[in-house]
Amino acid sequence: MRKLLLFIFIAFSQYFAVAQTVKYSNEFLAIGVGARQMAMGNAAISSTNDVMGGYWNPAGLLGIKSNLQLGLMHSEYFAGIAKYDYGAIASRLDSQSVGAVSIVRFGVDNIPNTTQLVDANGNVDYDKISKFSATDFAAIMSYARKINKVKGLDIGANAKIIRRKIGDFGGAWGFGLDVAANYTTKNNWKFSAVGRDITGTFNAWSYTLDEETKNVFALTGNEIPRNSVEITVPRLVLGVSKKYTVWDNKISLLGEVNLVNTFDGKRNVLVKSKIVSIDPQVGFEAGYKNIVFLRFGLNNIQKYTDIDEKQLTTVQPNMGAGIKYKVFTLDYAFTNIGNASISPYSHVFSLIIDITKQFKKPKISTSKD
C-alpha cells in the first residue's frame, strides 16, 4: 500500500512539475456575453437576472420569471476573422431553485497551415497548404438557490468544462468551479460577489505533432510545444446595483459598479499592485415601460505609450439599446473586446426567449361511480 501511495505521489509530482500559472489563461471566458451586459461595460454581475446569469452570476438565475428561458448571442471581431457565439437554456426547478446550461465558443476558422509549403529540396508546393481552426469552447452547468433562513440572500455555483483546440496539432481539456452570492436589502440595493475559478482551473495541454512538422519548427526557429498543465488563478468580482423608478413607474433608471479583482501580479488596470489588481467597470441603463432600453458603460481603463513615448490613459465607452416584446427580448451593443485605441468596435446582438408552460386544470367529475 505504501509503495502504491508513493508511486501515485511521484506520478502527480512529475505531472504538475510542468504546470504553469498563466496570467491571461482562458481569457475568452472574460470577454462577456449578452448585448445588454456588454453595452453596460460588463458591469453586470449584480443586475443580471435572466438566463445570462449562468455566465455572469449563477445566483442571478433566480430572477427568471418564466418556466424556461433561452438565450442566444453572436458577434464577430477583427473584421469577421474571429467568431464569438453563446447559447444557454435555464429552467426553473421549483420555487426555490433554477438550473442552467451555457455554451461559449470563440474561434478563428480557415487558418492557412503552411508548415508543408516548402519541401526538403526547397521546392514550393501551394497544394500542400491546408486549413485548420483554433477554437476555445466551454460548457457551463449552473445551479442557483434561495436561502430562506436569510431573507434576500441567493447563492449559486458553476461547473465549467473547457475544451481548447488548435487544429490537429494539439488541444487541452480543463475543469473549473465558480461560486456566487447576491444579497438584496430592504430598500432594493443589491450586493453581489462572484468567485471565478475558485479552485484554480487546470487546462491539460497535449500535442500530436508528426516528425515532419517538428523538423519544420526546428528549422524555422520555433519552439516545439510539449505537454503541460496551464493554471487559471482565481479572481473575485464584486458588484453593487440600484434601480429606481420615476414618472408613475414608467421610467426605470439602473446603475451598477463592478470591481474585478485579480491576484496574479500587476495588470494594466486602474489599481495595480503585486498582491491585487482592481479593474473597475461602470454601467447605466434607462428603460421606458419595461419595453425600450438605452444603455451606456465604461470599462478597460488602461495606460499605454504612444509613438512619441507619451503615457496616455484610455477608457473604453460602450453603448447599446434593447427592446422587449411579449416573450422576446432583443438587445444590441456597440462594444469591443480590448482597448478602444487599438481594436475596432464590433456589433453584438443577443436574444432572450421566455417560455411559460400552460397547465390545464384537471376536470372534476361529479358523477357517482
For 339-366, the DSSP string reads: -TTTSPPEEEEEEEEEE-PPPPPPPPP-
The answer to the question of residue 360 being in a domain is no
The Cβ of residue 320 has, within 10 Å, a number of other Cβ atoms equal to 25
| Domain assignment present for 366 | no
**Residue 263 — φ and ψ, nearest 5°?**
-130, 35
| pLDDT at 19 (0 to 100) | 56
Contacts of 331 (CB under 8 A, 6+ apart): 34, 35, 36, 39, 293, 320, 321, 322, 349, 350, 351, 352
**pLDDT at 221 (0 to 100):** 76
| Domain assignment present for 146 | yes
* Domain count for the chain: 1
Angle at 86 between CA 80 and CA 89, to 5 degrees: 160
Q: Three-state SS for 368?
A: coil
Environment class of residue 343 by beta-carbon count within 10 Å: exposed (0-12), middle (13-18) or buried (19+)? middle
The radius of gyration of the chain from alpha carbons, rounded to an integer in Å, stands at: 24
Q: Which three cell numbers stand for residue 306?
A: 504612444
The predicted structure's pLDDT at residue 289? 95
Q: Is residue 4 part of a domain?
A: no
CA gap 342, 345 in Å, rounded: 10
pLDDT of residue 307: 82
| pLDDT for the residue numbered 369 | 43
Looking at the domain assignment, is residue 99 inside a domain?
yes
How distant, in Å, are the alpha carbons of 51, 74, 83 from that of 68?
Answer: 9, 21, 27
- Residue 299: Cβ-neighbour burial (10 angstroms; 0-12, 13-18, 19+): buried
CA 365 vs. chain centroid, Å, equals 53
CB 56 within 8 A of CB 45: yes
Cα–Cα dist 277/321, whole Å: 31
How confident is the model at residue 343, as a pLDDT?
Answer: 58
Q: What is the CATH number of the domain that holds 313?
A: 2.40.160.40
Distance CA 295, CA 302 (A): 22
Domain containing 318: what range? 22-355
Tens place of pLDDT per residue across the chain (369 aa) = 443 333 333 333 344 444 566 677 899 999 999 999 999 999 999 999 999 999 999 999 999 999 999 999 999 888 788 999 999 999 999 999 999 999 999 999 999 988 877 776 778 888 888 899 999 999 999 999 999 999 999 999 999 999 999 998 899 999 999 999 999 999 999 999 999 999 899 899 999 877 777 777 777 777 778 888 999 999 999 999 999 999 999 999 999 999 999 999 899 899 999 999 999 999 999 999 999 999 999 999 988 787 888 888 889 999 999 999 999 999 999 998 755 455 578 899 999 999 986 444 455 555 454
pLDDT at position 14 is: 41
Q: Is residue 6 part of a domain?
A: no
Q: Residue 223 has what pLDDT?
A: 79
- What's the pLDDT score for residue 218? 76
The answer as to whether 369 is a domain residue is no
User: What is the rounded CA–CA span in Å between residue 118 and residue 319?
Assistant: 48
Residues 6+ apart with CB under 8 A from 209: 169, 170, 217, 224, 225
Q: Tell me, yes or no, whether 16 lies in a domain.
A: no
pLDDT of residue 212: 73
What per-residue confidence (pLDDT) applies to 359? 42
